[in-house]
Structure 1
Amino acid sequence: MKKIEIKTDFIKLDQLLKYAAIVDSGGVSKLLIQEGFVKVNGEVCMMRGKKIHDQDEVEVIIPDEMGHPQEKFILKVFKNK
């Protein structure tokens, strides 16, 4: 599990994936979210603008070119208080 520190009250889901260096562009982030490869607190989330707050957990599956799971990342977000 990778811990991600944020300094604001929330970060949008697509921005989090870039901030955590899971993806290198907003386009890739958008695709992963829209294709159902991202879960927030255990539930598939297809809203790239979803606000992620302190203590939220985000799971990201990176598929291979055939769409099969290849890599999995788990991010735990916390706010620096």
Structure 2
Amino acid sequence: MIKFKLEGEFIPLIQLLKATALVQSGGEAQTVVEDGLVKYNGTVDYRKRLKVRVGDVIDFMGQKITVI
């Protein structure tokens, strides 16, 4: 499990995937979100501009990111 410390009100999902090095680029992040490979709090979410906040859990390819 990856714990990501949020510095601000939210982080866009694509930026979070890049910041945690689960994807190499913004383009790759957009693709995995569009393909339904990312779960937001247990549910597949296709929104690229999703605002991830403290307490949210992102699941991608068996890796869980907890936002603290």
1:74 aligned partner:
64
Q: Structure 2 CA distance, aligned partners of 1:44 and 1:27?
A: 19
In our comparison, the structure showing a higher alpha carbon Rg is: 1
Structure 2 length normalisation: TM-score? Answer: 0.96
The offset of 1:10, in angstroms, is 0.3
Aligned to 1:23: 23
SS in 2 for 1:32: helix
Q: As a proportion of its length, which structure holds more strand? A: 1
Report how many residues are paired. 68
RMSD between superposed Cα atoms in Å? 0.6
Segments of 5+ residues of structure 1 without an aligned counterpart are 62-71
**For 1:52-71, what aligned pairs fall within 5 Å after superposition?**
52-61=52-61
Q: Which runs of 4+ in 1 moved over 6 A?
A: none
